[in-house]
């Protein structure tokens, strides 16, 4: 499969190049040349397929013949190695829990898939690839874990000192091997700026790539969640509405891709916190990116969502068609906290702040008689322990995955400016 740059100023390229480069030379993100719907027969009989088979069917056309079938199947087995349970909250609403992976963030799936693809493509090359990633919390842990031990791949994670939770810090600083953590004296934006500077620095001769959701290998496997949920809910015979707590809009964009592949989904709701660039766009068709604002659902504090351009492409850049299948609503921290309480009081379910924003999206949309709503629960409550325990009368149990890293020793290199990152990369 070939991919084109959404800035339309770079030549089309292969799956392999798109994965290895991350971004096109014209700084545009990549989009597949073709999207061919899966057979009706497959969708109608989806309950007869295993999750591994479904994931393979969903992704195979996007990889094409660039990874042999047997290896792609192995990659999928390593990626889809945990459950994605649906928990019913109300009569017509369920939570799709995406947090049962190794770092308890939904980004585990994309990170693992991308790591495996990169390892495959770099096989036999003398030169190692260096993955540079800036994180405000969740991405770093998922990337560290997903890439751990990948041969020929080095990972450098930049995180803002004192601005990620203790658990998140342990997840990205204790693994060792091919994972290096740089503890940056600054905020997330400083980390991101350092990464961008490194990509443009011609004195750095190392092969660099990025591991955020602009990379097609991190973005596309997120389609799997929607197929798995459809399989589980098909027998209800209801029309499905998905609400996705959104920051960079990679996850929801993958859902729309699944719909393009023929999955019967009635409507999508992109639920955001007060970082409301997309909800505003839907009102007047003017896209105005803004600096991000800090909220309690901080994995979605994004003022200029990088995947939204892919969503517009999926609807041929037509606002009216987009609006018929897609809504987007913004919610405040107060509304989020109130909703966490309401969900807990009504059902005993402990939602993290991101999941609660997703739930609010369904409420605002207003489900009809024949519709069933699914919100994506993107993080385990333990990842946002402070907010959850302040808001709800609960004590969150620390799951085994987290227990394992919590007592390990943090190892990080201090960095106060780009000079320090450069010195590390030039070593
Ligand atoms: C990354 C993240 C999101 C946002 O996902 P996007 O694909 O960037 O929209 C939501 N919730 C959590 C917990 C996350 O880590």
Q: Which whole number is the average pLDDT over 228-250?
A: 97
* Cα 187 to averaged position of ligand 1 atoms, centre (Å): 19
Q: What is the pLDDT of residue 163?
A: 84
- Domain assignments of the chain as residue spans, ordered by start: 84-105+219-399
Beta-sheet strand order (sheet of 413-415): 207-210, 129-134, 153-160, 179-184, 413-415
pLDDT bin (cut points 50, 70, 90) of residue 219 is very high
Q: Which whole number is the average pLDDT over 87-96?
A: 97
Q: Could you give the CA distance from residue 279 to residue 289 in angstroms, rounded to a whole number? A: 11
SS3 content of the chain, % helix, strand, coil (to 5): 45, 15, 35
* Cα 185 to averaged position of ligand 1 atoms, centre (Å): 24
Q: Parallel, antiparallel, or unpaired for β 267-272 and 239-245? A: parallel
In this model, does residue 266 exceed pLDDT 90? yes
Please indicate whether residue 277, judged by its CB atom, sits closer than 6 Å to ligand 1: no
pLDDT bin (cut points 50, 70, 90) of residue 187 is confident
pLDDT bin (cut points 50, 70, 90) of residue 106 is very high
Of ligand 1's listed atoms, the one at least distance from the Cα of 270 is 9
Token pair for 9: 């100023």
* Cα 123 to averaged position of ligand 1 atoms, centre (Å): 31
* DSSP, res 288: -
CB 303 within 8 A of CB 309: no
Structure-token match 């896209």, residue found:
287
* Cα 338 to averaged position of ligand 1 atoms, centre (Å): 21
Q: Which residue, by CA, sits nearest to atom 14 of ligand 1?
A: 299
Q: Which residue, by CA, sits nearest to atom 11 of ligand 1?
A: 378
pLDDT in tens, 63-77: 999 999 999 999 999
Q: What is the pLDDT of residue 34?
A: 97
pLDDT bin (cut points 50, 70, 90) of residue 104 is very high
9, 60, 73, 107: the active-site residue: 107
Token pair for 5: 């740059």
pLDDT in tens, 356-375: 999 999 999 999 999 999 99
pLDDT bin (cut points 50, 70, 90) of residue 90 is very high
Q: What is the pLDDT of residue 294?
A: 87
* Cα 273 to averaged position of ligand 1 atoms, centre (Å): 11
Please indicate whether residue 375, judged by its CB atom, sits closer than 6 Å to ligand 1: no
pLDDT in tens, 324-360: 999 999 999 999 999 999 999 999 999 999 999 999 9
Best CA proximity match to 337, nearest among 303, 382, 296, 393: 296
pLDDT more than 90, % of the chain: 83
Could you tell which of 248, 258, 304, 353 is best to mutate to test the pocket of ligand 1, judged by most ligand atoms within 8 Å of the CB?
A: 248
In this model, does residue 196 exceed pLDDT 90? no
107 included as an active-site residue: yes
Please indicate whether residue 250, judged by its CB atom, sits closer than 6 Å to ligand 1: yes
Of ligand 1's listed atoms, the one at least distance from the Cα of 302 is 8
- The correct answer on CATH 1.10.760.10 for the domain covering 84-105+219-399 is no
Q: What is the pLDDT of residue 23?
A: 86
Task: Give 322's Cβ-side CA count (13 Å radius).
Answer: 23
* Cα 359 to averaged position of ligand 1 atoms, centre (Å): 15
Could you tell which of 100, 105, 106, 308 is best to mutate to test the pocket of ligand 1, judged by most ligand atoms within 8 Å of the CB?
A: 106
Of ligand 1's listed atoms, the one at least distance from the Cα of 352 is 13
């Amino acid at each position: 499969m070939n991919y084109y740059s959404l800035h339309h100023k770079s030549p089309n390229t292969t799956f392999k190049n798109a994965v290895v480069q991350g971004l096109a030379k014209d700084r545009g993100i990549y989009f597949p040349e073709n999207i061919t719907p899966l057979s009706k027969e497959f969708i109608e009989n989806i309950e007869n397929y295993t999750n591994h088979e479904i994931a393979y069917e969903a992704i195979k056309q996007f990889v094409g013949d660039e990874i042999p079938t047997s290896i792609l199947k192995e990659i999928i087995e390593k990626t889809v190695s945990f459950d994605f349970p649906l928990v019913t909250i109300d009569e017509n609403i369920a939570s799709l829990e995406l947090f049962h992976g190794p770092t308890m963030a939904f980004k585990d799936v994309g990170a693992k898939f991308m790591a495996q693809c990169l390892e495959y493509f770099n096989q036999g090359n003398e030169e190692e690839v260096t993955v540079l990633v800036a994180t405000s919390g969740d991405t770093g842990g998922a990337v560290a874990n997903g890439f751990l031990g990948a041969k020929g791949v080095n990972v450098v994670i930049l995180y803002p000192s004192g601005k990620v939770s203790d658990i998140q810090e342990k997840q990205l600083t204790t693994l060792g091997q091919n994972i290096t953590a740089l503890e940056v004296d600054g905020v997330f934006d400083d980390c991101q700026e350092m990464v961008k500077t490194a990509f443009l620095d011609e004195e750095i001769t190392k092969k660099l790539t990025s591991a955020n959701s602009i990379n097609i290998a991190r973005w596309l496997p997120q389609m799997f969640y929607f197929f798995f949920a459809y399989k589980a809910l098909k027998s209800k015979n209801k029309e499905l509405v998905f609400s996705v707590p959104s920051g960079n809009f990679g996850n929801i964009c993958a859902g729309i891709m699944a719909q393009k592949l023929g999955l019967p989904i009635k409507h999508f709701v992109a639920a955001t916190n007060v970082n409301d660039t997309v909800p505003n766009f839907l009102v007047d068709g003017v896209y105005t990116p803004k600096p991000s604002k800090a909220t309690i659902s901080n994995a979605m504090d994004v003022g200029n969502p990088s995947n939204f351009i892919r969503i517009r492409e999926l609807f041929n850049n037509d606002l009216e068609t987009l609006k018929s299948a897609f809504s987007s609503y913004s919610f405040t921290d107060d509304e989020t906290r109130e909703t966490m309480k309401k969900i807990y009081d009504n059902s005993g379910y402990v939602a993290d702040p991101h999941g609660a924003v997703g739930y609010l999206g369904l409420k605002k949309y207003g489900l009809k008689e024949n519709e069933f709503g699914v919100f994506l629960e993107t993080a385990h409550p333990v990842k946002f322990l402070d907010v959850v325990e302040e808001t709800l009368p609960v004590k969150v149990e620390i799951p085994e995955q987290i227990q394992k890293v919590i007592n390990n020793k943090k190892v990080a290199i201090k960095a106060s400016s780009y000079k320090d990152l450069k010195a590390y990369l030039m070593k």
